[in-house]
Amino acid sequence: MTILALAAASVLGALTLAWRYTPLAAFATPEHVTAFAQHAARQPWTPIAVTLAYPVAAVVMFPRPLITLFAVVAFGPLGGIALAMAGIATSASATYLVGRSLSDPTIERLMTPRLRELRAVLRRRGFMGSIAISIVPVAPFLAVGIAAGAMRVKLRDYLPGVLIGHLPGTITTTIFGHQLKTFLEDRGAKLEYLLVLGALAFLAVTILIVRRWYARQVQYGAGSRELAIEHNGRNEAKGAMR
């Protein structure tokens, strides 16, 4: 943890120095950012590149909302949402298929207490569980997708659940990105601050509700395991008495 903290501080320090003492600050102006986004939007390969950036981001832990922001600035709200959902679907499918290819011994070695809780919820509530873990990430996207595939959760439950679960965050990012695009194109334009605050409030309430639901599911699973252990113990005791 200390090494990670030092590495993060070093990266941030390097970026700060680069921003202050190199031409980076002069390049990253609203005009340049807007021009780059408009240029990228005119390239036929950009939508494919944006879509494929999501699986890559899952592997390297790059923040997906930043890709969505770029997509919104380049292609507008509707285009940005469409590319974001396509990228999330591609990423979820790829990580799921990786999990399906793992053997049972490998799966057990990779299991952590949190992933065991996740497995219990997904096995019992596949579709709803997939929605919940997308709204309230209990593990990195990469780990969740691999775990879902390894647990043999039905893809027809997992993939729609992931897409629905990511909609609130994607819509919130899109609203923010559209306001950012408006500012970049016209710094004198009136921004819809109440719209952004409303979207953030809706997302926060959604996360709170889903987090409580997921916690109840985990507690229910823990209670079921305890009852099963107790039941097995009684059966063994009866067998010993005979």
pLDDT tens string for the chain (242 positions)?
445 445 545 655 565 565 556 665 555 555 666 677 778 888 899 899 999 999 888 888 788 888 888 888 888 889 989 999 999 999 999 999 988 887 777 777 777 777 777 777 877 777 888 888 888 877 788 888 888 888 888 888 889 999 999 998 899 888 888 887 777 666 666 778 788 888 888 888 988 998 888 888 887 765 454 434 344 444 444 454 45
Residue 192 placed within a domain: yes
- Cα–Cα distance between 8 and 111 in angstroms, integer? 27
Q: How far apart are CA 117 and CA 114, in angstroms?
A: 5
Q: How many domains does the chain have?
A: 1
Amino acid 232: pLDDT: 47
Residue 8 within a domain = no
**For residue 8, what pLDDT is reported?**
47
Residue 172 in domain: yes
Q: What's the pLDDT score for residue 25? A: 56
- Tell me the residue range of the domain where 201 lies: 33-241
CB-CB contact of 139 with 118 (8 Å):
yes
Task: Determine, yes or no, domain membership for 47.
Answer: yes
pTM strictly above 0.85: no
In this prediction, residue 142 carries a pLDDT of 84
Name the token pair of 227.
């009852």
Contacts of 132 (CB under 8 A, 6+ apart): 121, 125, 165, 210, 213, 214, 217
Tell whether 129 is covered by a domain: yes
Residue 12 lies in a domain: no
Structure letter (DSSP) for residue 24: H
DSSP 130-177: HHHHHHS-SS-HHHHHHHHHHTT--HHHHHHHHHHHHHHHHHHHHHHH
Helix axes 193-241, 126-135, angle to 10 degrees: 130
- The number of CA neighbours under 13 Å toward the Cβ of 69 is 14
CA–CA separation, 160 and 89 (whole Å): 9
Residue 15 lies in a domain: no
Q: Is residue 18 part of a domain?
A: no
